[in-house]
């Protein structure tokens, strides 16, 4: 029973929905802006769960796979389809409610806000290849895949909450430089997280000729020449961000913890790990990042 519950939460992407909320709240605390309407966080969580579950929605009922996650979706196909219908219905109702609640504030947003929002949406659509085949499908362009995921996540948790509070309260935005460095830090961190997951899919991606970093250069080179340099770049971006806002040294050290954990996990991945290791431990670093970011912001 316990294992079924763990599988449902992690394989069903519900944990990722909670991550989206946690990271979005971290943005508010770190950039010292108000929290968004609770309805906004519900919409973000539902959109994340629906988005990630979509990849498995078109598996035929007779499909079999040695991939643990794919096999789980195949066994629970009917349940997940019902779940998608229910979650999508709630998402649409919540979105309509949110829209009409703040429609009178729409003039608070300017052209640049719409441009950022639609750019993020377009990147997400390209990743799943929803557009006609004549368009680029970033999911099949292996070397872009991780950075696209990282970009969408960074936009979702770093930029979108700022647009939401501007719509809700017309709250003054932090400086552009501050937003840029915070966004870049999150982009690098989330991209590293995505590349780690590519290691999980190494054998399947290789068979499908999906040229991810791991397939192209191998496991050890991916760790030594891609993951560690990207983590280092994210750490540098964070340090610049901390310096720009005159971050307290205790807050800085607390926010340093997720980067150090990520380095340790990266080095541990030279040995093969189970799927739940990737889902719980690697995604867990994102939750720790959010917790440390929020806790650090409360230090005065």
Mean pLDDT of all residues in 144-158: 85
pLDDT tens, residue by residue, 112-147: 888 888 887 777 776 655 555 545 555 555 567 778
What is the pLDDT, as a whole number, of residue 62?
A: 46
173 membership: H or E segment, kind and range: none
Q: Does domain 2-297 have CATH number 1.25.10?
A: no
**Range 165-170, long-range pairs (CB < 8 A, 24+ positions):** 165/28, 165/33, 165/34, 165/35, 165/36, 166/108, 166/109, 166/113, 167/102, 167/105, 167/106, 167/108, 167/109, 168/36, 168/37, 168/40, 168/102, 168/105, 169/34, 170/105, 170/108
Torsions phi, psi for 236 (to 5 deg): -65, -45
pLDDT band at 40 (very low <50, low <70, confident <90, very high): very high
Token reading at 216: 């192209």
Phi-psi region of 270 (alpha: psi -120 to 50; beta: other; left: phi over 0): alpha
Q: What are phi and psi of 138, to 5 degrees?
A: -70, -20
Q: What CA–CA distance (Å, rounded) separates 75 from 61?
A: 8
8 A C-beta contact, residue 253 and residue 262: no
Burial class (CB in 10 A: 0-12, 13-18, 19+), 140: middle
Predicted local distance difference test score (pLDDT) of residue 240: 86
Residue 212: per-residue pLDDT: 61
**Token digits for 230?**
């990207």
Predicted pLDDT of residue 140: 56
pTM of the model: 0.86
**pLDDT band, residue 236 (cuts 50/70/90):** confident
């Amino acid at each position: 029973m316990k294992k079924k519950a763990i599988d449902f939460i992690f394989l069903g992407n519900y944990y990722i929905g909670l991550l989206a909320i946690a990271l979005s709240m971290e943005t508010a605390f770190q950039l010292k802006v108000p929290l968004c309407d609770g309805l906004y966080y519900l919409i973000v969580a539902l959109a994340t769960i629906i988005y990630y579950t979509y990849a498995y929605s078109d598996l035929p009922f007779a499909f079999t796979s040695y991939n643990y996650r794919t096999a789980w979706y195949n066994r629970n196909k009917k349940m997940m389809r019902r779940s998608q219908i229910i979650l999508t219905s709630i998402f649409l109702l919540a979105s309509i409610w949110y829209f009409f609640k703040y429609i009178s504030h729409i003039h608070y947003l300017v052209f640049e806000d719409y441009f950022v929002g639609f750019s993020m949406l377009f990147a997400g659509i390209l990743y799943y290849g929803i557009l006609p085949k004549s368009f680029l499908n970033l999911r099949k362009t292996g070397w872009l895949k991780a950075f696209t995921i990282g970009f969408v996540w960074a936009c979702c948790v770093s930029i979108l909450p700022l647009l939401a509070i501007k719509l809700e309260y017309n709250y003054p935005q932090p400086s552009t430089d501050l937003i840029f460095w915070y966004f870049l830090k999150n982009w690098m961190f989330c991209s590293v997280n995505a590349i780690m997951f590519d290691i999980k899919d190494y054998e399947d991606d290789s068979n499908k000729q999906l040229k991810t970093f791991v397939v192209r250069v191998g496991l050890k080179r991916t760790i030594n020449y891609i993951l560690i340099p990207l983590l280092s770049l994210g750490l540098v971006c964070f340090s610049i961000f901390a310096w720009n806002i005159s971050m307290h040294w205790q807050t800085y050290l607390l926010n340093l913890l997720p980067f150090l954990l990520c380095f340790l996990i990266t080095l541990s991945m030279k040995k093969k790990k189970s799927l739940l290791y990737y889902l719980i431990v690697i995604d867990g670093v994102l939750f720790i990042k959010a917790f440390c970011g929020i806790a650090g912001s409360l230090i005065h």
